Amino acid sequence: MAYFSALGLGGTAFPGLLWAQAQEQGSVTKEMLAGAEAVTGLEFTDEEREQMLRRVNRNLGSYKALREHPIPNAVHPALLFDPLLPGTVLPTERKEFRHTRPVGVARPSNLEELAFEPVTVLSELVRRRRVTSTELTRMYLDRLKRHDPVLKCVITLTEERALRQARQADAEIARGHYRGPLHGIPWGAKDLLTVEGYRTTWGAKPYEHQMLDDNATVVERLDEAGAVLVAKLTLGALAQGDRWYGGQTRNPWNPEQGSSGSSAGPASATVAGLVGFSIGSETLGSIVSPSSRCGATGLRPTFGRVSRHGAMALSWSMDKLGPLCRSVEDCALVLNAIHGADGKDPTARDAPFNWDPAVRPSQLRIGYLKEQFERERQENQREAQEADLAVLDVLRGLGAQLIPFSLPDDLPINAMRIILTAEAGAAFNELTMSGRDDELVRQEGWPNTFRVSRTIPAVEYIQANRLRTIAMGDLEARFDGIDVFVSPSFGGSTLLLTNLTGHPTVVVPNGFRENGTPLSVSFVGKLFGDAEALMLAKAYQDATDFHKRKPPQFV
């Protein structure tokens, strides 16, 4: 029974009676084994316990030896998750990347009027030299300084680096060397991405002064695209929630409310017009949730679509990086710049991203999560249900043929959360063992989860992953004949299931409550079908204006 590897009997991670007894007696006894069985839901006979004792006590030495070798957060396990099941064949044709170039855009008399414009507009002004990158960069830096005291969305301004990049962009464009639609556009990075010369705090007090002198792959690729990094933005401590060591990041539509998380700063800063776009991460809702709360347009790409090299690891089989923007097409522009293998993240792979903004809903095979759209909601959820149903009406009006779609309901999806719990406990094993987890602002959050992770039997972790394979096959079979399905953002098991299977999701605002805060809907694509999910979301967004509204306090 692999339970004792989870108990942490070779260290201080398990804070209960069994550990105290083992410390006192120097070894595990039959009585301790009997007590441990209650935690695992197993029961052995006295004879079986007697047989187990020698090996269990021998294992204690192995655990101690393992813990004597520190393992950096960046080191991945030898076991790698692949969302593609055997026999899956991905398209190989790569088409020319095309994007919308708006016409008639002009420089406003007040440059700050550009703060809320999408990248498609900003890039055209920069390309045509109506506005310089330096002007945009100074404008966004000023807004970051002015509004951060309310929103608490910034950990570190990268002002010197940003102005240097902006001047370089302006010089290159003046010489006729235009790199593409992100050239000269200011952006913000969730502060779990390494940037050489700047702190990478992970939003957590124990790492407040951490310097990791490397550039994350997404940072390097955005540098290559000519984008200008203006700030490292907040995240809930160790990528959970919106509370970090400096306070709580706020929702621009209601600063009395947190922005949700863990991509708290990217969502808040983007929606408040403090950056042109941002990069966040998601393990279980960390792009979808703050995008929903703040009204951002977010993309959680297919697992393996974007390299995570240089990003804090929380769950090696679930972590994903993606953009938070003001429009769907902005997300496509950013994904086009950052996707693909890099030889550093072993899960990242090359696959075509064939974006075509002209695709119409009638050209796609679209499912909708019928039960979740039609189920009876509680009174406080009626506004969300009305907004969700209105999405279906808009899509039908655009020529979409909507096919009823359902998710697997015969698998213990929620029970598979232990995969995240176990991997997160391993990722921050040394923090827990050192006792510095006491410094985190939410003790009921990760610190408690990390401790609980030590009670997960290794066998159950493997079993959960085997069930995950079954869930992957089930969902993939349901995608037969479907390119993308529409779902309430938190409908049923959608969020957890698709994070476990690695499917891409686009979340967009689809209305506002009476109190003025946003609502959202999600578009879920096939594996590496990010383009189709984005195409449908763009068609919906082009037919509505929710993404164009601005939080009044920050206009």
State the CB neighbour count (10 A cutoff) for residue 516: 11
| Long-range contacts from 50-56, C-beta under 8 angstroms, 24+ separation | 52/1, 53/28, 53/29, 56/4, 56/28
Helical (H) or strand (E) element with 298: strand 297-300
Check if 362 is active-site: no
Taking Cα atoms as reference points, which of 270, 254, 114, 68 lies closest to residue 187? 270
Q: How far apart are CA 390 and CA 394, in angstroms?
A: 6
CB 286, CB 270: distance < 8 Å: no
Instruction: Provide the token pair at 403.
Output: 């096919």
Identity of the residue numbered 200: T
Q: At what angle do helices 133-151 and 119-127 cross, to 10 degrees?
A: 150
Q: How far apart are CA 211 and CA 443, in angstroms?
A: 25
Q: How far apart are CA 79 and CA 132, in angstroms?
A: 47
Backbone phi, then psi, for 156, in 5-degree steps? -145, 125
Taking Cα atoms as reference points, which of 407, 328, 522, 430 lies closest to residue 67? 430
Q: Which one-letter DSSP state was computed for residue 281?
A: E
Q: How far apart are CA 319 and CA 311, in angstroms?
A: 9
Q: Which residues pair with 523 in a beta bridge?
A: 486, 506
Q: Find the catalytic residue in 262, 289, 307, 487.
A: 262
Taking Cα atoms as reference points, which of 121, 4, 129, 96 lies closest to residue 54? 4
Q: Find the catalytic residue in 286, 289, 292, 522.
A: 286
Q: How far apart are CA 432 and CA 136, in angstroms?
A: 43
Check if 262 is active-site: yes
E-assigned strands of 479-517? 484-488, 505-512
Q: Find the catalytic residue in 5, 123, 133, 190.
A: 190
Q: Which residues pair with 107 in a beta bridge?
A: none
Sign of the CA dihedral running 34, 36, 39, 40: negative
Taking Cα atoms as reference points, which of 290, 193, 187, 279 lies closest to residue 243? 290
CB 191, CB 145: distance < 8 Å: no
Report CA 44 to chain centroid distance, whole Å: 42
Q: How far apart are CA 248 and CA 331, in angstroms?
A: 26
Please name the residues in contact with 232: beta carbons below 8 A apart, sequence gap of 6 or more: 154, 155, 156, 158, 188, 189, 190, 191, 193, 195, 198, 199, 200, 201
- Quick check: helix, strand or coil at residue 68? coil
Check if 190 is active-site: yes
Backbone phi, then psi, for 274, in 5-degree steps? -105, -10
List the catalytic residues: 190, 262, 286
